[in-house]
Structure 1
């Protein structure tokens, strides 16, 4: 056995070994790692293997079909008194990557391997540390499993470890993903592990305060946030926060707390009632579990008109203790002209503070006389960029006199959480709605804003986000300019090298992503002016994507202007202000179309009604089978539908009789004085006015609950992660879920121990359960779990029982108020760990409404799922679902 070589700096408490034992390579498909698909699990998992240079493992990638162990030197290791890190670069010369790319494209240079090293801890005491895992999705420290890691190197929520002196084994699952690593250069896997000593108590997870800029002496918006990490081993309660500079004006949002209060949720109150009823706890304070990172939100105000900074003291204590401690935090203020792009803050629906960059109309804006309310020009950034980067905000400087409100949303994170889709797009809409508040805050006297008229543009991932806005919110889009954007996740990097699976299972994964296949949704763009642009030699997002969508627009009966810039790659300095785009922006701001547009002949394509707005005054509210696209074609007053269960009509545009699938419906008779949408629905072969009749035992699926498992991200408030009372073996998984939600979405989560689901919270719930520890919410819900396994009632009403073969399950179920509960169940702790992996985190994974996992899912991926599929509008399993029978 080749020993691991450690380089120990005697002045440092920590070090990583300089040589690592690596085993690979093995096949992996685009975003497949979430589902397991690790062939080494077939032989017990890498963690249970010992280094053996003579051992061989079957693999589809290397010469001779075998993977072997090798020793790899770290590119760099370093140690300092309170930190250590190691950089690894793994590559394989025994794979003909070039030829594989000829056949399979970029999908061929995605692969996986494992690497083993050691963390050496000196001294005589247990050390509190945080571990950053850049570009790593999964790892083991000794015998503890961590899934989620930090694939995009955000460094927002590292794992907190408490390491005893000595050597600690660290096993890293290395996954090469083209969207994260690129597809052009050599197919290496480059990762970093970085260990830093922590305080062992409350600390700032990120320096400073997320707050708005100061425009012409006025704070643009009042809400702020700090990010706190509990690096200790006991739960911490935040007692209060107050200005540290004497005499400062300061206010909080929320109920009074001895003249101080925090912006908190009812979930926090419940947490304290569950965990802390000694030591004079405060019912409106925030609790942070050991190892957890959470945002703390509060109102900010300036101590003086010309202040250069603000500073606060956060007061906290250990739960069940009376001793108080203080953590200071400060932030330098950015003073800027009101006419320059500046930071505004607001509340995301998930209960966190987010920000966008806003550029109000200039004094010399080229507006038509009589224009009082101006449209919003949305500029969506590309992957890996913060919205406050000069590269983003400066891209439209050459058109500073546009007659529009220019908004640079962040989508919450540099990757926009989920590619400007669910969580990220909610951020866009909330940022737009924050503009009127800004106008009031700063006393703006210029042109007002029409928040229902959008000009949408964006580059790269932002270009893809532009397509998403265009196809999912066509009623609001005046015009759109997608630049160098990809058509869909599947078209960007194909999914061809997943582990072999029954086509029914791959179809379900694909259907889970139906809302994001823009090439299927081009009919929704009809009537909207579109200016496409792409660099001819783009080697990041191939121009094929824009060419394809240009063609699909034409085939859908609409059109676009397409500008392919000769000899240009993915980015150049004026990529957002070419002459064609500049002309388009000015033309779009002068567009006087009445929205929503009244169209005589149009179609609506819907992948998920929860994502899709209306078009032409018609909204598809439910599909018959959400595993398939729905379609509505309107010609005059005649509408034909496919896979559509119900529709809503805007009474302003639809105030006469219509014919739906041959049935005459007199909408005028259903109109109300409030102007509410008029609903019609299908029942058998008949269409009627009204909403589908629902039995009391079969609740209707609420709009926010529609879609695949990613519907859990439509939380109205912080997530609640619920673990059974007394189940200490689930606390590590609850913490991981919380960490992943914060890492990838910057989301907030409250971890509680409770048998029943709280009734006084607004956020969506994630429930962890082992064996029989899950209570039923509806007596006849389609999926039931118990100590003996999982039972599913299929679309024919037949019960399929999965007993000892069911190791884990994940499924949505409804809560009141339109909330959702994502149940994660395991036959044992290992099975629950398997189920926990499918909580939405990375885009493109394709999680359906429910999945039951067998043991073989660890190495076979989705083919190891015993059942998977969708719920219809009444929470019944659809016919398109896979429910294996015995």
Structure 2
């Protein structure tokens, strides 16, 4: 039994129960001693490329494109590529050093290509191959029955797979079906290693060699402009490492996943804790948590929000609610966790959580505060709060600041490109879930608003902090830098009534302008109408399309004139578009000559502070103009403008616009395009209001003055009716990334735990959700999912994997709530059976919850499952609408292998105007 423990944790074990391993214990057998397996990655690499692609195309193409890994590889063969002088590329060699692999193609005339194509031509794909060798233990007496697994890290690579080194003719073909793991392409800090099952059992007598394939994809946003380092040649840099994971069951701390509040003068700045745990060899379920009795339980108590099962190879965060009864001044908080292993054995793990103690802020000094709350009442979430220098007699609006890509703000190391401490305003710095999040779109926007609402709740909970609070619903000054500057435009455009003023710095306009899609391989083959349907998934993020929503918002757009990361023309173009909507708009563009991407003067300049101060001093009440236009793409991701909100579109997938004009006599004339239902806040209306929509006079309904809003709906014949409603129906979907907007932990449903392919896919998806979004997910089988549904416990978004053998999926589709159904065990769309070997992804109504959705990843074989798994919208820019069907052609021609796709209509109906078959 283990008794020597790491500083961070200790174990209290039930009698005759195997120990739960601590973080340091788990490292002992990984590569030391005579009974340990060893692993080595060769420094010699084979490289095939470069091939033109656009920035997200690798999610449609096979990661091994142009290779078919089920066939022998001819290392003397040539492949077509438009980047090479001869029009062909072959294999070359590269050498890594200490795990760092740097790949470039100096024979390509990049400067010549770039002269006409710009940054778009730098995007490229390469196939990278080396070998991994596994060495058996030198002493054979204690060989485990199960073979080891690998823990692999691929930093800034998109996908990787481990395959046998022998030829397909020597082994069963299934061994050569690559299981593609998503790499940590953004180099996120809190990223657990990928658990990789070996494709064949390693030899116990001699070293066993496997092939490691990596999809290397150059993106300007990741690797930057090569001319900044004095070269025309783009260089791909990937860090790759591997170690052995023994098959023995253990549970270890994942402290980089902990969610911990700062304690200010002994009091926690938040009511949530999160404890990161990683499992191996078996499932482990945490059933209870409490502060260790007799030590600190009189001052602080915690409660586990829900039983949490951690699958072998999975990392999860335990959600704990924190309650404080007295000041707590120690530097660690001991929490006991009651744990049950999959075989029923029980143990207790005591975790010593580190506590950061700081003094209360004052006028002259402060430290950044990490605050926590339970997002959606279920998920521990953190953000940074910077206190003002002075409390104000009247509440002052806060500053909401969105950080740039790759900035880990919870480390409190983001000050260079951030606003300074304010006199009376709090500076709220959300994480967006991770350093990159979803580029401040969708769930990252939700995270920002949730942090803004959490801070006044924290302040109001203590008498000495309450004078510093602001109303949760107050309008903010919104700022952002780089990706956060783009995010500031995005968030303000979607929720204009919540923003007093906007200060975006070094912002790019939209992804397709930053890294154009000109060299898409798919575009050479795809039907233009199908491409249009797929690219509706990009429309909601095109900031230039939505600037009509900001013509009445004071804006100071700032950009360094020598920005090496985001070209200054992006800010100029957004300002120009805004002035096209309203030449008299209150917008100022300031270009600071000679300044780079990040510099002190962006936010620290007196002119910037003067603009912020003027915005804070302006009246709190929203000033309505005589005329305005609201632009909306996805109603569920957009708020109101001057009290008017679009609820439902006639044709989802297309833009909607609502133009409102106020007459001198108080009349409101509304004209719409592609709008089916709107909500009007009662504050906009009065007994004297004369309301007309499309020229039709619309009397205000009885009781409107006491209702929160009036809902106007358009009938098929073009007539409008108005009513008061206590709740409003908002169109629920619009693109597949809606699955990331979950009110709680996601539930991943596999057909059966014995289904190895589906379970592997679910574990890899859970890993990606953790790395890219810090979204918690539980993995259940169909029987468990049915029980959760029937017990009313299926409260978050749901992802279902598999085919008709998944009983939960079969029962759900039997309700016929969309055009997808099962016919004799086959998936059909509007009665048309989808071919075997196809991959189908579609959003579906949640079985029980109105505020959640379900996604189905339907595949009848392993190859189809791999394809559809890559299309899960982990990143921005993946062109997946509400549903699509693709087949094996996608491996070579990308999105042109999509044979059907579309956006649901309201009520999950077929939307013929935005569907392609």
Q: TM exceeds 0.5?
A: yes
Q: Does 2:448 align with 1:428?
A: yes
Distance 1:169 1:204 in 2: 31
Judging changes above 3 Å, is the alpha-carbon distance between structure 1 residues 738 and 10 closer, same or farther for their aligned structure 2 residues?
closer
- Equivalent positions of 1:870-885 (< 5 A) are 870-884=903-917
Q: Deviations over 1:315-362 (max 9, x none)?
A: 423213224253634314232433533110012239321111112332
1:514 to 530, 534, 539: 539
Aligned-residue offset at 1:304: 6.2
* Aligned residue in 1 for 2:283: 235
* Aligned residue in 2 for 1:741: 769
Q: Does 2:192 align with 1:150?
A: no
- Equivalent positions of 1:135-284 (< 5 A) are 135-142=156-163, 143=176, 144-154=178-188, 155-161=190-196, 164=202, 166-185=208-227, 186-198=233-245, 200=248, 201-207=250-256, 209-230=258-279, 232-244=280-292, 246-249=294-297, 261-264=303-306
Judging changes above 3 Å, is the alpha-carbon distance between structure 1 residues 701 and 879 closer, same or farther for their aligned structure 2 residues?
farther
Distance 1:645 1:420 in 2: 28
- Equivalent positions of 1:331-342 (< 5 A) are 331-339=354-362, 340=366, 341-342=368-369
* Aligned residue in 1 for 2:140: none
* Aligned residue in 2 for 1:438: 458
Q: Deviations over 1:776-831 (max 9, x none)?
A: 153362123556754333xxxxx544334x61100011123222110110132221
Aligned-residue offset at 1:445: 4.3
Which segments of 5 or more consecutive residues in structure 2 lack a partner in the other structure?
1-30, 138-142, 164-175, 228-232, 663-667
Distance 1:27 1:174 in 2: 12
- Name the SS for the 1:610 alignment partner: helix
Distance 1:39 1:221 in 2: 46
- Equivalent positions of 1:535-546 (< 5 A) are 535-546=560-571
- Name the SS for the 2:340 alignment partner: strand
- Name the SS for the 1:418 alignment partner: coil
Aligned-residue offset at 1:868: 0.8
- Name the SS for the 2:766 alignment partner: helix
- Name the SS for the 1:119 alignment partner: strand
CA contact (8 A) 1:348 1:426 kept: no
Aligned-residue offset at 1:587: 0.9
2:760 to 724, 732, 752: 732
Judging changes above 3 Å, is the alpha-carbon distance between structure 1 residues 327 and 161 closer, same or farther for their aligned structure 2 residues?
farther
Distance 1:16 1:38 in 2: 20
Distance 1:536 1:237 in 2: 55
Aligned-residue offset at 1:579: 2.3
CA contact (8 A) 2:272 2:381 kept: no
* Aligned residue in 2 for 1:277: none
* Aligned residue in 1 for 2:650: 624
Aligned-residue offset at 1:843: 0.9
Distance 2:110 2:908 in 1: 46
Judging changes above 3 Å, is the alpha-carbon distance between structure 1 residues 520 and 304 closer, same or farther for their aligned structure 2 residues?
closer
Distance 1:845 1:208 in 2: 27
Q: Does 2:602 align with 1:575?
A: yes
1:715 to 742, 748, 757: 742
* Aligned residue in 2 for 1:15: 40
* Aligned residue in 1 for 2:122: 109
1:752 to 774, 780, 792: 780
Aligned-residue offset at 1:575: 2.4
- Name the SS for the 1:766 alignment partner: strand
Q: Does 2:908 align with 1:861?
A: no
Aligned-residue offset at 1:393: 4.4
- Name the SS for the 1:571 alignment partner: coil
CA contact (8 A) 2:81 2:88 kept: yes
Judging changes above 3 Å, is the alpha-carbon distance between structure 1 residues 722 and 39 closer, same or farther for their aligned structure 2 residues?
closer
- Name the SS for the 1:203 alignment partner: strand
- Name the SS for the 1:414 alignment partner: coil
Aligned-residue offset at 1:517: 0.8
Judging changes above 3 Å, is the alpha-carbon distance between structure 1 residues 838 and 785 closer, same or farther for their aligned structure 2 residues?
farther
Deviates more, 1:449-458 or 1:874-883: 874-883
CA contact (8 A) 2:64 2:215 kept: no
* Aligned residue in 1 for 2:639: 613
Distance 1:9 1:388 in 2: 34
Q: Does 2:446 align with 1:419?
A: no
Q: Does 2:803 align with 1:766?
A: no
* Aligned residue in 2 for 1:343: 370
Distance 2:72 2:557 in 1: 52
* Aligned residue in 1 for 2:479: 457
Aligned-residue offset at 1:38: 5.5
* Aligned residue in 1 for 2:682: 651
Judging changes above 3 Å, is the alpha-carbon distance between structure 1 residues 428 and 442 closer, same or farther for their aligned structure 2 residues?
same
Aligned-residue offset at 1:622: 0.8
Deviates more, 1:547-556 or 1:379-388: 379-388
Deviates more, 1:755-764 or 1:822-831: 755-764
User: Which 4+ stretches in 1 moved above 4 angstroms?
Assistant: 8-12, 162-165, 197-200, 250-253, 300-304, 393-399, 785-790
Aligned-residue offset at 1:395: 5.3
TM-score, normalization: structure 1? 0.87
Which segments of 5 or more consecutive residues in structure 1 lack a partner in the other structure?
1-7, 78-85, 254-259, 265-284, 693-699, 794-798
Distance 1:704 1:373 in 2: 35
* Aligned residue in 2 for 1:388: 410
Deviates more, 1:423-432 or 1:814-823: 814-823
TM-score, normalization: structure 2? 0.84
Distance 2:514 2:724 in 1: 39
Distance 2:728 2:518 in 1: 34
Distance 2:290 2:625 in 1: 55
Distance 1:701 1:450 in 2: 24
Distance 2:729 2:192 in 1: 32
CA contact (8 A) 2:299 2:327 kept: no
* Aligned residue in 2 for 1:321: 344
CA contact (8 A) 2:733 2:882 kept: no
CA contact (8 A) 2:904 2:910 kept: yes
* Aligned residue in 2 for 1:82: none
Q: Deviations over 1:510-553 (max 9, x none)?
A: 32122211111111002111111001111211111100011011
Judging changes above 3 Å, is the alpha-carbon distance between structure 1 residues 397 and 647 closer, same or farther for their aligned structure 2 residues?
closer
CA contact (8 A) 2:560 2:597 kept: yes
Distance 2:337 2:245 in 1: 18
2:835 to 778, 803, 814: 803
Aligned-residue offset at 1:855: 1.6
Cα RMSD over matched residues? 2.7
CA contact (8 A) 1:459 1:576 kept: no
Distance 2:845 2:305 in 1: 27
Q: Deviations over 1:233-256 (max 9, x none)?
A: 211112333435842126999xxx
Distance 1:304 1:226 in 2: 22
Judging changes above 3 Å, is the alpha-carbon distance between structure 1 residues 175 and 542 closer, same or farther for their aligned structure 2 residues?
same
